[in-house]
Chain A
Amino acid sequence: GAVVSQHPSWVICKSGTSVKIECRSLDFQATTMFWYRQFPKQSLMLMATSNEGSKATYEQGVEKDKFLINHASLTLSTLTVTSAHPEDSSFYICSALTHLGHQPQHFGDGTRLSIL
């Protein structure tokens, strides 16, 4: 149980394009989801916490207008990288907590984003 699906797993696009990444909890309701960014051979850096039905809470230094997060249902959160540039190329990973809010977090398989 507690499966999180992330889509797409890999995307290449031109600079200036906006890219949407979906994170779905398949067999549970997730009131809270998290979005992370990971550079090669580095750890995960939390970008934002997404709560169903409310605005996301962004970590310091993360541009909320650049990384739009929507959590419109208990099973879906989306991250949109707006007007992406090569420096936005990275591995983006989402995770989710069940509606009980108890750890551990359940992770998606990540999305590798490459901006040309």
Chain B
Amino acid sequence: SQQGEEDPQALSIQEGENATMNCSYKTSINNLQWYRQNSGRGLVHLILIRSNEREKHSGRLRVTLDTSKKSSSLLITASRAADTASYFCATDAEGAQKLVFGQGTRLTINP
């Protein structure tokens, strides 16, 4: 199955700075999700945004969704070393239960 694109593929910033990751997808969706994966572990759900929503917040996370451009962004504010992980967007392509994952962004927060 086709997967979405994420950019950047890797991002390295200093602790305290903000990190922004982008995701693009190809098909119509019901919702888009962001997940975090620590090295060698499973995925942790961060936030879900529905197709009729444009922005959503959860703690230090801010997600935007532009369905006209088929794109989303994840902003992590005031980053911490513990935020170091890979971040994936995932869409329920055409309303199916299964998810299509983006290529992921490897985020490194330097202390």
User: Chain A residues in contact with chain B, CB under 8 A?
Assistant: 4, 6, 32, 34, 41-44, 46, 49, 59-60, 91, 93, 95, 97, 101, 103-110, 112
Interchain CB contact (< 8 A) of A49 among B42, B48, B97, B103: B97
Q: Which residue of A lies closest to B45 (CB)?
A: A104
Interchain nearest-CB distance for A105 vs B (Å): 6
A101 B88 Cβ-Cβ under 8 A:
no
A107 to B88, CA, bound (A): 13
Interchain nearest-CB distance for B108 vs A (Å): 13
User: Chain B residues in contact with chain A, CB under 8 A?
Assistant: 1, 3, 31, 33, 35, 40-45, 48, 88, 92, 97-104, 106
Most chain B beta-carbon neighbours within 10 Å: one of A91, A101, A103: A103
- Chain A residue numbers with a CB within 8 Å of B88 are 43-44
A60 to B88, CA, bound (A): 22
B3 A43 Cβ-Cβ under 8 A:
yes
B97 A93 Cβ-Cβ under 8 A:
no
Known: A32-B97, A46-B1, A104-B33. A93 touches B40 (CB 8 A): no
29 A-B pairs with C-beta separation under 8 A: A6-B42, A32-B97, A34-B98, A41-B106, A43-B3, A43-B102, A43-B103, A43-B104, A44-B88, A44-B101, A49-B98, A59-B1, A60-B1, A93-B42, A93-B43, A95-B43, A101-B97, A103-B92, A103-B99, A104-B33, A104-B45, A105-B45, A105-B99, A106-B45, A107-B43, A109-B42, A110-B40, A110-B42, A112-B40
- Chain A residue numbers with a CB within 8 Å of B42 are 4, 6, 93, 107-110
Interchain nearest-CB distance for A40 vs B (Å): 10
Q: Which residue of B lies closest to A97 (CB)?
A: B97
- Chain A residue numbers with a CB within 8 Å of B104 are 42-43
